Amino acid sequence: MNWKNFFTRFGQWGMRYLPAFEKTESGRLFYIRGLRFPAWFAMAIPFMIFIIIFVEHSKELRRTISWKALACSIALFEFVLFPIEHLGINQGFWIYNRARILGIEIWDIPIEEPLIYYLFPVIMVVFLWQLLFNRFEERYICYWTSVLLLIPITIAFEYLALWMDIWSFSENASKLWGISFWGAPIEEFLFWFGAPPFVLSIYFWFERTLSKRKTND
């Protein structure tokens, strides 16, 4: 059985209604489809609610978390994501629906990304690990548990975004490997499953480095 063909056909189920792409003057692809509604901004609301509940609920979380390490992790995450996102948008890895974003852009990137999505998910990942760590006190077990718990959440997030028609993918825009699951290419999962371990690993590094410096002082 040719698995690549199987997955390609299976994945194209969600790609049957690809939009007509347009090009900006700089050659960047975009499309406009559906009612004008800032869905990408609206999707951040659950993140904000989760974070408020976490912080409000747990005094221990507020006390135990390394806020400096968290701030450094967010800064590094923004620093890494900015060029990736710029490259991704310009190369057509993913294509935004201009009807579903606010429309303000920084370096070709919709403003929702650096203001919300480089920030709140990082906080959420670290909070989740810290909550588990406060409860079980096993650094690496809590690392893997957080990462595994985030897999279904990120999958749900991807399909919610596709369902809300915030972005789309096309082989014509950028060469993809060809395996996709209900409209989401396998590369997208590579992104989703890679980001949480990256965030936690850099948080660990900053946390240990900063606490060591504090001890030395």
Partner 1 sequence: MIFKICLPFLYGIFFIIIPVYGLRTDYGWTVVICFWIPAFIFYALDRRRNKASGGIK
Is residue 88 within the footprint of partner 1 (CB under 8 A)? yes
Q: How far is CA 4 from the centre of its chain?
A: 26
Helix H or strand E encompassing 180: strand 180-181
Q: Which is nearer to partner 1, 99 or 200 (CB)?
A: 200
Find the shortest distance in angstroms from Cβ 35 to partner 1: 29
Q: Which is nearer to partner 1, 80 or 119 (CB)?
A: 80
Find the shortest distance in angstroms from Cβ 60 to partner 1: 15
Closest CA to 7 of 175, 179, 184: 179
Residue 55, exposed/middle/buried by CB under 10 A (0-12, 13-18, 19+)?
middle
Q: Which of residues 152-191 bind partner 1 (CB under 8 A)?
A: 174-177, 179, 185-187, 189-191
Is residue 205 within the footprint of partner 1 (CB under 8 A)? yes
The site for partner 1, by CB under 8 A, has a size of 37
Closest CA to 32 of 102, 98, 100: 98
Tokens (6 digits) for 196:
């949480």
Residue in 145, 153, 155, 181 binding partner 1, rule: CB under 8 A = 145
CB 11 within 8 Å of CB 185: yes
Q: How far apart are CA 217 and CA 212, in angstroms?
A: 9
Residue in 6, 60, 138, 172 binding partner 1, rule: CB under 8 A = 138
- What residues line the site for partner 1 (CB under 8 A)? 80, 84, 87-88, 91, 93, 138-141, 143-145, 147-148, 174-177, 179, 185-187, 189-191, 193-195, 197-198, 200-202, 204-205, 208
